[in-house]
Homo-oligomer: A and B are copies of this chain.
Amino acid sequence: MIQAITTNEIIVSEKESVTLPKGYKAGGMHCGIKRKRLDLGYIVSDVPAAVAGVYTTNLFQAAPLLVTQESIAKENKIQAILVNSGNANACTGEQGLADALTMQKEFAYEMGIQDHLVAVTSTGVIGELLPMGNITNGIKQILQKEYENEENFKKAILTTDTSTKEIAVQFTIDGKTVSIGGAAKGSGMIHPNMATMLGFVTTDANIAHEDLLSALREVTNTTFNMITVDGDTSTNDMVLVMANGLAENNELTKDHSEWDVFKQGLQIVCESLAKKIARDGEGATKLVEVKVNGAFSTNAARAVGKSIISSNLVKTAIYGTDPNWGRIVTAIGYSGVPVEPTAIKVSIGPFTVFENGLPSQFIEEEVKEYLESENVKLIVELNQGDSCATAWGCDLTYDYVKINASYRT
């Protein structure tokens, strides 16, 4: 099950994502929000877990986000996450808030725990009330053995996604095996600073809330906040990390000698999920990675990366396998970062296409061929300093238009 891919001492497994860490169960079922596909899922921990969350910056936060944030604030612990897809419970007013609270209360009742230990979250169509009859019925059954299935959980959180998104890693802290697992969904409305994106990360590490939150925020800035599909930041984005301590390591803090191993593990999990979301962007045929080096600050590097990865013109050119470096250079020029045009070098994969303020000599057919691959890298050297950043996104295709001209988010 565990694959032999390692980064330092961190072993990456692609299976048993959110249930690889000790003491977690997950499941999913069809309760009747969507026509046929799975639409209700849960993750539960055997014991209350420290929790950290990051949430959409959209002012129209959906009802479940309000409920979850308020609940977490009580003691910074949760024991369960309940998710529905097919309906975002956003822009649903007082009734929406009441519905989110009902979801929380009823699932807590089934588990026999306090309400505030249940996080609730929703994704799907905006502005329609949840079909509470179906959801309530679902909640009554979902903890039954037949629905306990980690694969079902990953499916139950999807909307226009074409594939499930998961990863798990293992490493050693204080001689104890620690695992981090993650599952995510997200396909449209994906933009830096969260998106219609849900990320659920579980770990059995022993770590206090404050340190977990600090690690999550740091890692989110270089992962989930660096992806874009369409520039729209949704009302429902949320990443939650649960840490139940069952690995029995000494409590992790920034002063722990193996703090960096944990943070790197979390980074691998979040980066992998973020890239999978970008790769599965609505209508996408390619994962695009933009690496920006030599910036005078990390924020400058991020701004240039986001500007390029968000450009519809760059995205359509990549779809059309057109080595159109002019559009990349244009996007650098309007990023808001004071770059020096003649100092910049731009490469498409291994091919330098722009340098010293001029197009480079390159063989168009070679670059076109490179652009046909499923993973396209654009590399920008700003030559202004030592900071760097990476952004991920996808190409813009006919299918993006097709999906969004007809699908009701």
Residues of A with Cβ closer than 8 Å to B? 57-60, 88, 90-93, 125-128, 188-189, 191, 230-235, 310-313, 316-317, 319-320, 322, 324-327, 329-334, 338-339, 341-342, 354, 356-359, 396-398, 400-402, 404-406, 408-409
29 contacts across the A-B interface (CB closer than 8 A): A58-B330, A59-B332, A59-B334, A59-B339, A59-B341, A60-B330, A91-B341, A93-B342, A125-B326, A126-B326, A126-B329, A127-B326, A189-B313, A191-B334, A231-B231, A231-B312, A232-B312, A232-B327, A232-B334, A233-B330, A317-B404, A317-B405, A320-B406, A322-B406, A322-B408, A326-B409, A327-B409, A398-B402, A400-B401
Cβ A232 vs Cβ B127 within 8 A: no
A231-B310, A233-B334 as given contacts; A405 in contact with B316, CB under 8 Å: yes
Q: Which residue of B lies closest to A353 (CB)?
A: B127
The 6 closest A-B pairs by CB, nearest first: A320-B405, A126-B326, A316-B404, A60-B333, A58-B333, A233-B334
Q: Which residue of B lies closest to A396 (CB)?
A: B401
* Most chain B CB inside 10 Å of its own CB: which residue of A88, A92, A397, A401: A401
Cβ B401 vs Cβ A331 within 8 A: no
Bound form: Cα–Cα A92–B356 in Å: 10
Min CB distance, A280 to chain B, in Å? 17
Q: Which residue of B lies closest to A235 (CB)?
A: B330
Q: Which residue of B lies closest to A59 (CB)?
A: B333
Cβ B330 vs Cβ A232 within 8 A: yes
Cβ B231 vs Cβ A311 within 8 A: yes
For A396, list chain B residues within 8 Å (CB).
401
Bound form: Cα–Cα A230–B404 in Å: 16
Please name 9 further chain A to chain B contacts, defined as beta carbons within 8 Å, in addition to the given A91-B341, A320-B405, sorted by A numbering: A59-B334, A59-B339, A60-B341, A91-B358, A189-B313, A231-B311, A319-B405, A322-B405, A324-B409
Cβ B312 vs Cβ A404 within 8 A: yes
Bound form: Cα–Cα A408–B401 in Å: 21
For A338, list chain B residues within 8 Å (CB).
59
A325-B127, A405-B322 as given contacts; A332 in contact with B189, CB under 8 Å: no
Cβ B398 vs Cβ A91 within 8 A: no
Cβ A319 vs Cβ B91 within 8 A: no
For A324, list chain B residues within 8 Å (CB).
408-409
Cβ B91 vs Cβ A126 within 8 A: no
Min CB distance, A365 to chain B, in Å? 15
Q: Which residue of B lies closest to A399 (CB)?
A: B401
Min CB distance, A397 to chain B, in Å? 6
Min CB distance, A212 to chain B, in Å? 27
* Most chain B CB inside 10 Å of its own CB: which residue of A319, A398, A404: A404
A313-B188, A356-B93 as given contacts; A126 in contact with B405, CB under 8 Å: no
For A329, list chain B residues within 8 Å (CB).
60, 91, 126-127, 235
For A326, list chain B residues within 8 Å (CB).
88, 90-91, 125-127, 408-409
Cβ B358 vs Cβ A232 within 8 A: no
Bound form: Cα–Cα A319–B402 in Å: 10
Bound form: Cα–Cα A400–B188 in Å: 18
Bound form: Cα–Cα A93–B360 in Å: 12
* Most chain B CB inside 10 Å of its own CB: which residue of A189, A310, A313, A406: A313
Min CB distance, A236 to chain B, in Å? 10
Min CB distance, A7 to chain B, in Å? 34
For A189, list chain B residues within 8 Å (CB).
313, 330
Bound form: Cα–Cα A297–B409 in Å: 30
